[in-house]
Amino acid sequence: MKFLRFLKAAAVCCFLTALTVQAAEKKPMNVLFIAIDDLNDWTGMLKGNPQAKTPHMDRLAAKGMLFTNAHCAAPACGPSRSAIMSGIRPSTSGNYINKSSFIHNPILNNSVLLPEFFQQNGYYVAGAGKLFHGYHFNEEVKGRGFDEYFPSKTQDLPSFEGLKFASKLPMGGWGRQADWGPCHPDVTLDDHPDGITANWAKEKLLGGELQDPFFLGAGIFEPHLPNYAPQEYFDRFPL
């Protein structure tokens, strides 16, 4: 009799465990989406440029699955981002240049964008920085697919205008589009647009404000030109 009671208890435990596992499997996972502009293979884990020092990304890659055979959908930023965010390649959409806003492209405009897909599946969608190519954040589009965006749904990037510099720029010779140089010694990473974006995303991620499930996107502008950073980051790479 004791053995039968034991078998019944064991069966109940197994059943409850199975239900718990099943419930856990059905619970949607939160998503952190980080986009870094013009990064290429300039990372330690991809070994494309051994002089690159990316310890934080290397640690993140070591904890997950690293894809080493990824290919860009288009050579230009705007079409590439449109392809990633819509799942539609440029040869289908006809979107090949940066000045072509997806909102004026009938194929892309009628597609379900990545943030919209998560919204439609019950996610709270928040983002900051350069995830699309700027044209997604204006009075016409207003950050379509996002419940919340920083700095706002009509401005995707914190401004570079407030940065101070130690010397007169540009140093790159091609004007601001190809400019680079260290900021004034008073400027810290927290003052930099990418630092502002990263800190906002960190506070959202760790602050407990986001309701589960959530999709949190953080778009980092550099190493896209212009390359402005505190002096300490230039000191790590003797020129």
Which residues are part of the catalytic machinery?
77, 133
Asked if residue 150 lies in contact with residue 128, where contact means CB atoms within 8 angstroms, the answer is yes
Our CA angle for 65, 71, 76, nearest 5°, is 130
Could you give the CA distance from residue 110 to residue 126 in angstroms, rounded to a whole number? 22
The neighbouring-strand residues paired with 183 are: 165
Q: Residue ranges of the alpha helices (H) in the chain?
A: 2-26, 55-62, 77-86, 90-93, 106-109, 114-120, 193-206, 231-235
Residue 208 dihedral angles phi and psi, to the nearest 5°: 75, 15
Could you give the CA distance from residue 88 to residue 69 in angstroms, rounded to a whole number? 19
DSSP 236: T
Three-state SS at 80: helix
